Amino acid sequence: MDLTARQTDILAALRRDGRVEVDDLALRFDVTTQTIRRDLGQLCDLGLAARTHGGARGLQSVSNTDYRARQQANAAAKLDIAAQAAGLIPDHCSVMLNIGTTTEQVARAMASHAGLVVISNNINIIAGLIGANMRELILVGGSVRAADGAITGPDAVDFIGRYKADVAVIGASALDADGAVLDYDTSEVAVARAILANARTRILVADRTKFDRNAPVRICALPDLDHFVTDHPPPSTFTLAATAAGTTVHIAQTAGAAHVDGR
């Protein structure tokens, strides 16, 4: 499902305060308590919060939500982001993508490109591009994580080091307003870092809800990225950090796209 603006604001409150109360939210948003309970129920179903008596609490920042839930969350925004990101990728080039529900959508949006060499540690990406007009599909070798089809570990990092791609596309689980790009799993982060280190142009794709989440492991910072594609203007401090880093921020929209130059 796609989160509503109110649900996104509730997530921000959960991150800031740790918990929320139904009655307080109903007054704040001028809606019924039944509407708020429905909002909280949907957030809990997606693994983004946990119910408490009279409200909900935020989840700890040490583990990610279920992969299927992440595939459903903000699906429309991810499609828009994917279309914008695919537009940054030319035909007849090499592209590396990491595990993630948004990078999977970017791969689908690239299916109409011609002559791409696609390298990924995401089994879902490679499987989804079979039959497309690709020059070559390369699945990274290593240990397969059953929960989401990610291939991680030292073997995967070594495998990626054999290549130098034209473009890297990575996703992330959380973003800090200061420009830190974050995730939960150290082995997954090691692969993402290897992908960035072995590419000429580096693109981050992430929807607005990533600013409402915490994660403990740093992937990179804005100076390590050439482009950031999202669905909503980031916090002003993040935009200033992108400008200082020379990272171009692209805001994907359903009927076209805008961008804020950071260079």
Q: Which two tokens stand for residue 40?
A: 């909280």
Q: Does any domain span residue 134?
A: yes
Q: What is the pLDDT of residue 106?
A: 97
Per-residue pLDDT tens digits for 119-164: 999 999 999 999 999 999 999 998 888 878 899 999 999 999 999 9
Strand 217-220 versus strand 181-183 pairing type:
antiparallel
Q: Is 43 found in the same domain as 106?
A: no
Q: Is 249 found in the same domain as 206?
A: yes
Percent of the chain with pLDDT over 90: 63
Q: What is the CATH number of the domain that holds 21?
A: 1.10.10.10
Is the pLDDT at 255 greater than 50? The verdict is: no
Q: Name the residue range of residue 54's domain.
A: 5-59
- Judged on CB neighbours under 10 Å (0-12, 13-18, 19+), 21 is middle
Average pLDDT, the chain: 88
| 3-state DSSP assignment of residue 26 | helix
Q: What is the pLDDT of residue 72?
A: 54
Cross-strand partners of 230: 251
Q: Does any domain span residue 160?
A: yes
Q: Does any domain span residue 135?
A: yes
Q: Is 153 found in the same domain as 23?
A: no
| Other Cβ atoms closer than 10 A to 30 | 7
Most confident of 11-20, 236-245, 252-261: 236-245
Per-residue pLDDT tens digits for 160-200: 999 999 999 999 999 998 999 999 889 899 999 999 999 99
Phi, psi of 219 (to 5 degrees): -85, -55
| Cα dihedral across residues 242, 244, 245, 246: positive or negative | positive
Q: Is 163 found in the same domain as 86?
A: yes
Strand 116-120 versus strand 94-97 pairing type:
parallel
Q: Is 200 found in the same domain as 152?
A: yes
Q: Does any domain span residue 136?
A: yes
Q: What is the pLDDT of residue 70?
A: 54
Q: Is 125 found in the same domain as 21?
A: no
Looking at 76-80, 83-87, 248-252, which range is the least confident one? 76-80
Q: Is 254 found in the same domain as 171?
A: yes
Q: Does any domain span residue 66?
A: no
In angstroms, the CA 106 to CA 171 distance is: 10
Q: Across residues 80-87, what is the average pLDDT?
A: 96
Q: What is the pLDDT confidence band of residue 3, given thresholds at 50, 70 and 90? A: confident
Per-residue pLDDT tens digits for 191-244: 999 999 999 999 999 998 888 788 889 999 999 999 999 999 999 999 999 999
Total of domains in the chain? 2
Return the half-sphere exposure (C-beta side, CA atoms, 13 A cut-off) of residue 209. 22
Q: Does any domain span residue 68?
A: no
Q: Does any domain span residue 67?
A: no
Q: What is the CATH number of the domain that holds 217?
A: 3.40.50.1360
Q: What is the pLDDT of residue 262?
A: 54
Q: Across residues 12-17, what is the average pLDDT?
A: 78
Q: Is 215 found in the same domain as 124?
A: yes
Q: What is the pLDDT confidence band of residue 53, given thresholds at 50, 70 and 90? A: confident
Q: Is 126 found in the same domain as 27?
A: no
Which pTM does this prediction carry? Answer: 0.74
Q: Is 53 found in the same domain as 89?
A: no
Q: Is 211 found in the same domain as 170?
A: yes
Q: Does any domain span residue 48?
A: yes
Q: What is the pLDDT of residue 62?
A: 44
Q: Is 37 found in the same domain as 153?
A: no
Is the pLDDT at 67 greater than 60? The verdict is: no
Name the domain boundary from 18, 35, 59: 59
